[in-house]
Amino acid sequence: MKGLLLAVAGLTAALLSSASAADKLDPSCSSCHALAKPTDTSLDRLLARKGPDLWYAGSKFNKDWLVSWLQDPKHIRPAGYPYFKNIKKGDKHDEPDSSKILAHPKLNKADAEAAADALMVLKAPDDLVPAGAFKGDMKGARMGALAFIKFRGCVGCHQGENGEGGLSGPELTDAGTRLQPDFIAAYISDPQRFDPHIWMPTANLKDLDIQRLTAFLAQLGQGGK
């Protein structure tokens, strides 16, 4: 019973902490982003949202990247969000329609740091982004690159190394500086747990394949480190 009470108290504290952190963000943030886990997981809700959910931002992003990006935001998704609302017919294939892609507001340094602090408090449940989901072995990065470019077709939706790839998904050219490795591994494993009905499929990969893909993505944007 004592253990159960402690668990409930911990969960309550975590929920209150997340709510307090969300309250510190500009109210306009919630007009595009979910700062608390949505109760509506329908396809209609996914298609209507204006930006990615941020209720697990603290388990997803690296704080230094957040502070920098909020001061000088650049499109992470070449075709905006959601991509299918911002494309036009090109000579050979569909192209992003820049006139439809909204720019993210710029923040000054102090506001960017305050927003990043608040976002980093918004953590995913431990079973969604388990600590140690990426085991840290970077030796599989070369095989991960082959999987990304050839074997798994990730490059069909995402731009990876050298900026080559598709336009419908977020760019991953700086994935190593933007995203936490545990999040990368967890999302690759089952993106539908984060975003029900999202167009990225759950590929039911073996853990070895997930580790290799994560190793490849985790070193992108790191300048060879």
Each residue of 75-130: pLDDT tens digit? 898 888 888 888 888 887 788 888 888 889 999 999 999 999 999 999 999 999 99
The crossing angle, in degrees rounded to 10, of helices 181-189 and 207-218 is: 140
Q: Which of 21, 108, 88, 90 is nearest to 59 (CA)?
A: 21
The chain-wide mean pLDDT, for the chain, equals 87
Closest CA to 66 of 174, 185, 209, 139: 174
Cα-flanking dihedrals φ and ψ of residue 145, to 5°? -65, -40
Mean pLDDT of 133-141: 96
Section 8-25 average pLDDT:
53
Q: What torsion, rounded to 10 degrees, do the Cα atoms 192, 117, 221, 167 define? A: 40
Residue 72 has pLDDT above 50, yes or no: yes
State which amino acid sits at residue 4: L
Going by C-alpha positions, the residue among 86, 34, 59 that lies closest to residue 195 is 34
Q: Which two tokens stand for residue 125?
A: 């449940």
**Could you give the C-alpha distances from 3 to 7, 11, 16, 40, in angstroms and in order?**
6, 12, 20, 31
What are 39's strand-pairing partners? none
Q: What is the pLDDT of residue 8?
A: 45
How do strand 94-96 and strand 87-89 relate by DSSP bridges? antiparallel
Contacts of residue 42, Cβ cutoff 8 Å, sequence gap at least 6: 197
- Can you tell me the distance from the alpha carbon of 29 to that of 113, in angstroms, rounded to the nearest whole number? 15
- Which helix (H) or strand (E) element contains residue 95? strand 94-96
* Of the listed ranges 7-11, 69-73, 122-126, the one predicted with least confidence: 7-11
pLDDT band of 19, cuts 50, 70, 90: low
Of residues 100 and 15, which shows the higher confidence score? 100
pLDDT of 13: 47
Residue 24 has pLDDT above 80, yes or no: no
The Cα–Cα gap between 155 and 81 comes to 18
The per-residue pLDDT for 178 is 97
- Return the pLDDT at 160: 83
pLDDT, one tens digit per residue, over 167-219 is 889 999 999 999 999 999 999 999 999 999 998 989 899 999 999 999 999 99
Look at residue 29 and tell me whether its pLDDT is greater than 70: yes
**Is the per-residue pLDDT at 4 higher than 50?**
no
Q: Residues of the chain with pLDDT > 90: what percent? A: 57
